Structure 1
Amino acid sequence: MTATEPEARVPRRGPAPVQGLGMLIGLLFLVLAALELMAGSATGGGRTVLFGVLAVSGVWTLVHLLTGAVAVFCTRSSRWAARFLLVAGVCYAVVGLAGLLPLPAAITDVLPWNTASICLDLALGTAMLILGAGWLRLGPARRR
């Protein structure tokens, strides 16, 4: 190659960074669900507190388990991983915002919230939303 020829772009092989982040978040949710199961949240004993901080229940355990499984499945493609992060980020941000509202007792009995749970939902939702939207915003030429 001479100095006047433009440098050829060699496609980068391997997973995109968004796939790794999606896998990391998926594994985080799966570990969180496993810890909730070990804490006894699926026994139906009502409100359980994980590590003395996070309020969990059987429904939250199921939601975290499904979120982790879907995240791991969606990391097969960078586009799917980014879309998962965007959709899940919106869902968790909305759930976190809903935790700030006065809700009927029927909802708060099934989905227990405390300050730590609301902060975790808002932080995870915002982070996933930013990562997913930022990756989808990039054009195909600028992705790798």
Structure 2
Amino acid sequence: MTTTDPETQVPKRGPDPVQGMGMLIGLLFLVLGALELMPGVSVGEAPSRTLFGVFAVSGAWTLVHLLTGAAAVFCTRSSRAAARFLIIAGACYAVVGLAGLLPLPRAVTDVLPLNTAGICLALALGTAMLILGAGWLWRRPERRR
């Protein structure tokens, strides 16, 4: 049985799927950033730290992941904001993944280290976020009243 709003007698709907996906991705980034701060999970010394021994991390990556997660959670208040966040953040991560395939100066790779696993993850996550966000905006769901 669905609940109804007494003023309009229209069934209340829950959050849109894009909001749920945005929240899930935001929580993923927040957990990822928190794991990067834990000494037992991130292994190695400052220039060559790895998360789970696989993904190259740094203090800048930790900050980026925490800020991305916080922005994603904030943007899930509306479906349009969640979709736009997914497009913008997805494009940024896809560009980072593509940039990882290029020979970058050492100054860049010291701040934002990328290894093969990190490049694949950035490309996959960026592409998935782009598809989710663009698919939702392209679908143009009806506005709630």
Normalised-by-shorter TM-score class? 0.7 to 0.9
Poorly superposed stretches of 4+, deviation over 6 Å:
none
Q: Which residue of 1 aligns with 2:36?
A: 36
Structure 1 residue 142, shift from structure 2 partner: 9.0
Q: Is the 8 A contact 1:25 1:71 kept in 2?
A: yes
Partner residue, 2:49? 48
Equivalenced residues, count:
132
Structure 2 CA distance, aligned partners of 1:55 and 1:14?
A: 38
- Relative to 1, partners in 2 of residues 1:58 and 1:94: Cα closer, same or farther, differing over 3 Å? same
Greater relative CO, 1 or 2 (CA 8 Å, sep 6+): 1
Offset from partner CA, 1:63-108 (integer Å, 9 cap, x none): 0000000000000000000000000000000000000000111101
* Offset of residue 138 of structure 1: 1.2
- Structure 1 gaps of 5+ residues are 1-9
How far apart are the structure 2 equivalents of 1:85 and 1:11? 28
Is there any run of 5+ residues in structure 2 with no aligned partner, and where? 1-9
1:129, 1:38 → 2: CA distance?
30
Alpha-carbon shift at residue 141 of structure 1 (Å)? 3.1
Q: Distance in 2 between matches of 1:54 and 1:122?
A: 14
Aligned: 1:107 with 2:108: yes
Q: Distance in 2 between matches of 1:39 and 1:71?
A: 26
The sequence identity of aligned pairs, in percent, is 80
Residue 95 (1) aligns with residue 96 (2):
yes
Q: What is the correspondence of 1:119-134 to structure 2 with a 5 Å cutoff?
A: 119-134=120-135
Structure with higher Rg: it is 1
The equivalent of 2:19 in structure 1 is: 19
Superposed CA RMSD: 1.8
Question: For residues 140 and 25 of structure 1, what CA distance do their matches in structure 2 show?
Answer: 21
TM-score by length of 2: 0.85
Shift in alpha-carbon separation, 1:115–1:39, aligned structure 2, 3 A: farther
